[in-house]
Amino acid sequence: MAIITTTKRTERFHRTTRPTCKYWLAGRCNRNPCGFSHSLPTSPSNVYYNANTTYKHSKKPDSSVEKMASSSAKKAINCAPKAFKKPENCALKAVECRPEAEAISVEKPSKCEEKAVLIEKTADVEDVATVAKASVDKSHSICKSWMTDNCVDGDLCQNLHSWFYGDGFSTLAKLHEHNEAITGIALPAGSNKLISGSTDGTVRAWDCNTGHCVNMIQLDSQVTSLISEGPWIFAGVKNAVKAWNIQTGADVTLDGPKGQVLSLNVGNDILLAGAEDGVIYAWRCSFESPFKMVATLSGHSKPVVCLAIGSHKMLYSGSMDHSIKVWDLDTLQCTMTLNGHTDVVTSLICWDNYLLSGSSDCTVNVWVCTEEGTLEVTYTHTHENAVIGLYGMTDAEAKPILFCSCKDNSIPTYCVCFYRFLERGRLFTRQEVRSFQIGPGGLFFTGDGTDTQPNLETMEVSYYYDETLKNR
């Protein structure tokens, strides 16, 4: 059956020349038979055959077609003007001279056919130039086949064969030990260890010099949040917060939360834990004496997903109830509720006098305090996918850089001046990034949620800012 199909396609090629297959040009045509030509002319006058063309899917035409090409090229010079002088007659003849008509001679095409092919090829060459240019200009999307080592297009692939684009990025190391999503990364003060927590129920310590895992703590519950404060490491688990002191070796369990602890933060010497029951639990601590629960902050109707500490001793909490609440850390009372999102508030960061909030509604809001003391949205940046996390750092010139982890497994990176975001690059991962940690000297660490082998990745960013923002 395959031989018969190939023969028919060859006979049809002899009768007339079709437009060049754009997918064949890019090396990706998988149709058999294909309705377009698998050859590339060098000019409109060389209508049927180019001796320099490389045929990937079809056979090289025989000598009879070469003769026909030579004959066609000579007649085409006088044929083109006639085609434009009498389009109505040519149109009628084109119907009579269509490829299906048995009267067509393969060895010597009719004058009308030469005219039609010449006009068709002139337009086709323009399409070929467009495709050729597109093959050089890469898109800003990563090739998913390349991610799984299955891309067969090579340099002709329209998508990126790289884990990032943009100047100033470099990957330093990838650490593989966790079996499930990495949900927290911390760099304890006074230590050369990197700490990571995962939903596989483990907390691991990594040597920052060798990249090797040097210690592991197995817990009876998923770790859904992890932070460090001074020598202490805090991990949010189900119905509790686990705490370890890397200097004294102390091991403490803080009971009280109901359900999984989804977010942790420390402010005003208070450890705060946002739980699945919508309550924020607060422990007073001097980090030398035992922790003591001092309050439970109720107000959210659904789980508390994120916490951020701002200026003037303010706590901000984001929830699955789509709201952001503002709390006074001195009184532990709610002072206002912000309703600027239509879906889960997934991430909050405070930057100078600004509050940035990311949401599953695909937006990032920039909030600023008004003269009346309220917070209002001054700018909204919209993404194509849900926002999972926001992380900020500064470059060598102290210019703000915002990393925005999205549901499509990418991290767009922006130069920020708080009334507009200018994208300067993008990182790509196999799964969505759920944890991020800023390190010294431009280092940052990302943890993704790959099902089989999560990556704890070390990267570096250097001298990374927009020249247009330099003097702002």
pLDDT at 14: 41
Over range 237-261, report the average pLDDT.
93
pLDDT of 229 > 70? The answer is yes
- Looking at the DSSP bridge assignments, the partners of residue 162 are none
Task: Quote the mean pLDDT of the chain.
Answer: 74
pTM of the model: 0.66
SS3 content of the chain, % helix, strand, coil (to 5): 20, 40, 40
Over residues 167-189, the pLDDT tens digits come to 666 677 777 788 888 899 998 88
pLDDT at 458: 55
Q: Using DSSP, state whether 325 is helix, strand or coil.
A: strand
Residues 213 and 357 in one domain: yes
pLDDT band for position 235 (50/70/90)? very high
Residues 217 and 352 in one domain: yes
Residues 433 and 329 in one domain: no
Sort strands 375-382 and 363-369 into parallel, antiparallel or unpaired: antiparallel
pLDDT at 163: 66
Cα-to-chain-centroid distance, residue 379: 22
Report the alpha-carbon distance of residue 443 to residue 395 in Å, rounded.
10
CATH, residue 232: 2.130.10.10
Does 205 map to a domain? yes
- Looking at the DSSP bridge assignments, the partners of residue 107 are none
Q: Rounded to the nearest 5°, which phi and psi values hold at 115? A: -65, -45
pLDDT at 219: 93
pLDDT band for position 400 (50/70/90)? confident
Report the alpha-carbon distance of residue 309 to residue 84 in Å, rounded.
74
Q: Which residue has the higher pLDDT, 192 or 280?
A: 280
231 prior amide bond cis, ω within 30: no
Residues 353 and 264 in one domain: no
Task: Enumerate residues 6+ apart whose C-beta is below 8 A from 95.
Answer: none
Residues 217 and 354 in one domain: yes
Over range 356-362, report the average pLDDT.
97
Residues 78 and 195 in one domain: no
Q: Using DSSP, state whether 257 is helix, strand or coil.
A: strand
Over range 133-150, report the average pLDDT.
65
pLDDT at 167: 63
Q: Which residue has the higher pLDDT, 56 or 215?
A: 215
Structure tokens at 349: 């960061």
Sign of the Cα torsion 100, 104, 106, 108 reads negative
Percent of the chain topping pLDDT 70: 66
Q: Which residue has the higher pLDDT, 429 or 383?
A: 383
Over residues 412-452, the pLDDT tens digits come to 888 887 778 888 888 887 778 888 888 777 778 888 765 44
Residues 239 and 213 in one domain: no
Residue span of the structural domain in which 94 resides: 2-137
CATH, residue 365: 2.120.10.30
Over range 291-299, report the average pLDDT.
93
Does 156 map to a domain? no
Last residue of a domain, one of 339, 362, 396: 339
pLDDT of 145 > 90? The answer is no
pLDDT band for position 314 (50/70/90)? very high
Report the alpha-carbon distance of residue 39 to residue 43 in Å, rounded.
12
Residues 212 and 239 in one domain: no
Of 100-109, 158-167, 315-324, 364-373, the range with the highest mean pLDDT is 315-324
Q: How many CB atoms sit inside 10 A of residue 433's CB?
A: 26
Residues 239 and 214 in one domain: no
Does 161 map to a domain? no
Does 142 map to a domain? no
Last residue of a domain, one of 302, 321, 339: 339
Helices 111-136, 87-96: crossing angle, 10 deg rounding: 90
pLDDT at 64: 40
The distance between the two most distant Cα atoms of the chain, rounded to a whole number of Å, is 101
pLDDT at 130: 45
Q: What is the CA radius of gyration of the chain?
A: 32
Does 163 map to a domain? no
Number of domains the chain is built from: 3
Residues 91 and 123 in one domain: yes
Q: Which of 90-99, 235-244, 455-464 has the lowest mean pLDDT?
A: 90-99
Over residues 82-115, the pLDDT tens digits come to 433 444 444 434 334 444 434 333 444 454 444 4
> In sequence order, which ranges of 231-344 are alpha helices (DSSP H)?
none
pLDDT of 50 > 50? The answer is no
Q: How many CB atoms sit inside 10 A of residue 30's CB?
A: 8
Does 235 map to a domain? yes
pLDDT at 405: 92
pLDDT of 79 > 50? The answer is no
Q: Which contiguous run of DSSP H or E holds residue 77? A: helix 63-85
pLDDT of 355 > 70? The answer is yes
Report the alpha-carbon distance of residue 65 to residue 39 in Å, rounded.
13
Over range 237-246, report the average pLDDT.
94
Report the alpha-carbon distance of residue 318 to residue 280 in Å, rounded.
11
Give Cα separations from 41 to 17, 38, 54, 128, 414 (angstroms).
Answer: 10, 10, 11, 9, 44
Q: Which residue has the higher pLDDT, 142 or 240?
A: 240
pLDDT band for position 53 (50/70/90)? very low
Last residue of a domain, one of 95, 119, 137: 137
Residues 234 and 197 in one domain: no
pLDDT at 459: 52
Does 6 map to a domain? yes
pLDDT at 204: 93
pLDDT of 266 > 80? The answer is yes
Query: Nearest Cα to 125, choosing from 1, 37, 9?
Result: 37
Report the alpha-carbon distance of residue 316 to residue 210 in Å, rounded.
37
pLDDT at 86: 42
Does 80 map to a domain? yes
pLDDT at 358: 97
Residues 181 and 287 in one domain: no
pLDDT of 371 > 50? The answer is yes
pLDDT band for position 17 (50/70/90)? low
